[in-house]
Amino acid sequence: MADQPLLILAAGGTGGHMFPAQALAEEMLARGWRVKLSTDARGARYTQGFPQQVEVDVIASATFARGGVAAKFLVPFRILGGVIASITRLSRDKPAAVVGFGGYPSIPALAAAWILRLPRMLHEQNGVLGRVNQLFSKRVDLIACGTWPTTLPDGVQSEYIGNPVRAAILERAGSGYIAPGDYPMSVLVMGGSQGARILSDIVPPAIANLPSPMRGFVRVSHQAREEDLERVSAFYSEHGIDADVQTFFNDVPKRMSEAQLVISRAGASSVADISVIGRPSILIPLAFAIRDEQTANARTLVEAQAAVLIPESNLTPDTLGDQIQSIFENPNGANSMANAALSCGKPDAASDLATLVETLAESGKTK
């Protein structure tokens, strides 16, 4: 086992960073590599789906975006401690390559890889570089882009490969789509790995306002924040709507493949999953994203007429309900949306990213 090349994955603690990292881990293990994940304690909570062979190194990191004055004062010291720990571990482990997926927990391993001049690259899921990837963009050998076009600094080497999706998504790739009709119709509501309050506020009344008997055919899988679970479940129940409300679905691939419609944030991983499985969607980009990356993420599906985009500023029960009704009343149009989504999918992204990693490791290229 010691002669197997080692890959270090550095990723933050959200599904948007972790799912592509998981997909690459699965592919690299299949190619005979060893894989370690470097993250912090928060990120470690999102590793349940990773293969058991992946070792998880919990390294201290921090962000200025959370906590009070005292916590912010300690951020540089926590990051420095994490970098020192990562230098020690990478010096010992001698990885063939290090790949960062963004998020502040990826800082220590990426910084250590740069200091040690190890072959290293980034994968950027969004159409706009995240803060950490922006920081390291000129300190890596290559940036693999999940969304195209992606805004990049001048002089940075990049390649568009798409966003890797997990094996469980690939197993459902191109699943046959059953268009809406006078029978049970499934709606999957996703607000990212931590839910979205605005979807919990708007989606239930939008569905409740659908005309009868259409409303009676709807079956909802709704991902909500823990603090919203009770009220969202109660609303659906009071209006006679069959709904399963949870904070996190471990079987998203199954639920998505069975859905007639997906209502979702436009996170890069969600968009990739929708594209690979091939489903009509209504996308609501996060309004407070500083770089508006979710609007950029949605662009390909919207331009392909596979998705409807509703800005948060326009999102009301009436506007959302009208779009849901329009899709459900037009099965041919819904089927066309599903096919259009499928045409945007990049099911080979994980394999293509793995090939880039192997090429980088073989060349030993560093800057």
Q: What does pLDDT average to over the chain?
A: 93
The predicted pLDDT at position 257 comes to 98
The predicted pLDDT at position 64 comes to 55
Q: Which of 343, 289, 337 is nearest to 311 (CA)?
A: 289
**Domain total in the chain:** 2
The predicted pLDDT at position 22 comes to 96
How does residue 12 score in pLDDT terms, banded at 50, 70 and 90? confident
Contact by Cβ (8 Å): 282, 307:
yes
Q: State the average pLDDT over residues 296-315.
A: 96
Q: State the average pLDDT over residues 175-200.
A: 91
User: Range of 219's domain?
Assistant: 170-343
As a whole-number percent, the residues of the chain with pLDDT over 90 amount to 81
- Are 74 and 160 found together in one domain? yes
Task: Name the more confident of 346 and 76.
Answer: 346
The predicted pLDDT at position 310 comes to 97
The predicted pLDDT at position 41 comes to 83
- Are 230 and 114 found together in one domain? no
Contact by Cβ (8 Å): 207, 191:
no
Helix (H, G, I), strand (E, B) or coil at 137: coil
The predicted pLDDT at position 137 comes to 97
User: Is residue 268 a part of any domain in this protein?
Assistant: yes
How does residue 40 score in pLDDT terms, banded at 50, 70 and 90? confident
User: Is residue 15 a part of any domain in this protein?
Assistant: yes
User: Is residue 271 a part of any domain in this protein?
Assistant: yes
Q: Which amino acid is at 181?
A: G
- Phi and psi (nearest 5°) for 124? -105, 120
Residue 298 has pLDDT above 70, yes or no: yes
Residue 115 has pLDDT above 90, yes or no: yes
Q: State the average pLDDT over residues 45-72.
A: 78
- Are 82 and 25 found together in one domain? yes
Q: Which residues contact 155 (CB under 8 A, 6 or more apart)?
A: 138
Residue 136 has pLDDT above 90, yes or no: yes
Q: What sign has the CA pseudo-torsion 215, 236, 314, 298? A: negative
Residue 274 has pLDDT above 90, yes or no: yes
CATH code, 305 = 3.40.50.2000
Q: State the average pLDDT over residues 108-112.
A: 96
The one-character DSSP state at 24 is H
- Are 356 and 319 found together in one domain? no
